[in-house]
Amino acid sequence: MLLYAPYANSYRRFRPGSYVPMNATWGWDNRTVMARVLRDPVGIRLEFRLPGADTNPYHVFAAIIAAGLDGAVRRLAPPEPVTGDATRLPPDLLPLDLTEAIGAFAASGVARAAFGAGVQAHLAALAARERVAARLAVTDWDLARGFEFA
C-alpha cells in the first residue's frame, strides 16, 4: 500500500462513497473493486485501481509484479469475485493511513524479497519523513478551522 499511496495526503481519497477501492477485492467489470478485470473482443485485461496519481509508476509496477509473482509461487487462489458495491464491504486488509502503510511495508517479507532489505528500509524511511513533514504542516484549512472554532 505504501507504494500505491506514498504520502499522507494520498489517503484522503480513501473514504466511503468515493468509489476508490478500500479493500483487497476483484471483480468482473466492477468499478468499485481494487482489481477490475474486463473482457473485450481482443481478450481480457486487468485494471488495478488502487494507486493514486501521486505515485512513482516504477514503484507501482514493481509492487504489482512482486505481489503477482509471490502469489504464483505460493499458488494462492483468488477469492470469489465481488459483484455489487465493494465499498460497502469492510475495509480490511489494506492500510488506510500512512502510519499503517509504513508498518505493513517495513514488516513485509514480499517487499524484502522483491526490493532487498536496503531498498525496503529506504522507502519506509522516506515515508516516515513524509509523515513527520505532514504532521508539522499547518494548512489554510487548519488556520481557518482554528479561528472559526476558537
Structural domain boundaries, residue 39: 8-149
The mean pLDDT of the chain is 92
Using an 8 Å Cβ cutoff, are 23 and 1 in contact? no
**Amino acid (1-letter code) at residue 61:** F
What average pLDDT does this structure show over 1-8?
A: 96
Using an 8 Å Cβ cutoff, are 149 and 97 in contact? no
Give the confidence band of 25 by pLDDT, cuts at 50, 70, 90: very high
35-53: per-residue pLDDT in tens? Answer: 999 998 899 999 999 999 9
Using an 8 Å Cβ cutoff, are 89 and 23 in contact? yes
In a domain, 3, yes or no: no
Q: Which of 5, 104, 9 is nearest to 56 (CA)?
A: 5
pLDDT at 27 over 70: yes
pLDDT at 150: 65
Question: Who contacts 46 (Cβ-Cβ below 8 Å, separation ≥6)?
Answer: 35, 36, 37, 38
Using an 8 Å Cβ cutoff, are 77 and 20 in contact? no
Task: Choose the weakest-confidence range: 1-5, 6-10, 34-38, 137-141.
Answer: 137-141
89-131: per-residue pLDDT in tens? Answer: 887 778 989 999 999 999 999 999 999 999 999 999 999 999 9
Q: DSSP character for 20? A: -
Overall domain count for the chain: 1
In a domain, 18, yes or no: yes
The residue written with cell numbers 481494487 in the block is 34
In a domain, 2, yes or no: no
- Residue 142 parent element (H or E): helix 140-149
pLDDT at 144: 85
pLDDT at 49: 94
In a domain, 58, yes or no: yes
In a domain, 34, yes or no: yes
The residue written with cell numbers 480490511 in the block is 92
